Amino acid sequence: MAIINAFGNIDLYVFLLSWFLVSAVCVWGRPATFLQDFQISWSESHIKQIDQGRAIQLILDQNSGCGFASKSKYMFGRVSMKIKLVPGDSAGTVTAFYMNSDTDTVRDELDFEFLGNRSGQPYTVQTNIYAHGKGDREQRVNLWFDPSADFHTYTIMWNHHHIVFYVDDFPIRVYKNNEAKGIAYPKMQAMGVYSTLWEADNWATRGGLEKIDWSKAPFYAYYKDFDIEGCPSPGPANCASNQSNWWEGATYQALNAMEARRYRWVRLNHMIYDYCQDKPRYTVIPPECLAGI
């Protein structure tokens, strides 16, 4: 009652409270319907909107896979989606969620690729990073839960300090900005947000040994809670360099203590491949592998 009296009437109080809540949402999150930020880029007949566009279904069959892309490109920020992956025997399928500059020779790209498997075997998530046209930085982690049983949040955080891939609240990959040591870091090109569901049984599961069982088709993956927070391109010229953007704040410049513990736990218990440890492939350890997190 004291608060209401201070403002003079309850209508003003309700208005100010509503304004505060809306402002908080605008700063900290902006889950959107599919068509607000995205468009179908491949095989419209294989993407279906659900719940008035708040969720979508991707379909893979023997005729086609499918894909979608953001309407804009972005410089820095955070991109996240909730995904429920292909259930059952998903061997040979790949569900991908990634950012890409869509430039050929100097491509920048940040990849989540979910590699299907035979029923009962763990799903593998492969991450990769392209910086200034150089990729081949694959890491693979076996997920510690069934990602087809429910939605889980997959996030790419990208700022001037580092790139972090998250599965729910667990960081599974960190790539620091070590330009001072001569290591390429993506910061000059805006990137679009993409996702695809496609057939890749020549490499996806056990190096291509496990093929798609088309008798199990069609295969379905589901997406919801599309959230992009970053500097759109084209957009304000000073946005990407603005250190006041929330994703550039001190909280997001390095992993906190809990995140660092979770990161070590993932790498110790669930990592199955790290290009940094692949001595037959790299007789000289790539310089970013020596830089640590």
Whole-angstrom distance, CA of residue 32 vs CA of residue 96 = 20
Active-site entry in 113, 210, 248, 288: 113
d(CA 95, CA 84): 10
Q: Which amino acid does the sequence have at 269?
A: N
Give the 3-state secondary structure of residue 176: strand
Q: E strands along the chain, which residues?
A: 38-42, 47-50, 55-60, 66-84, 93-100, 109-115, 124-130, 139-142, 152-158, 162-167, 170-176, 191-199, 219-233, 271-274
C-alpha to C-alpha distance for 102 and 199, rounded to whole angstroms: 21
- How many other CB atoms are found less than 10 A from the CB of residue 204? 25
Query: What is residue 189's DSSP assignment?
Result: S
Furthest C-alpha separation in the chain: 75
Compute the CA torsion angle 262, 225, 233, 28 (nearest 10 deg).
Answer: -70
Q: Is 113 a catalytic residue?
A: yes
Catalytic residue among 109, 199, 248, 288: 109
Catalytic residues: 109, 113
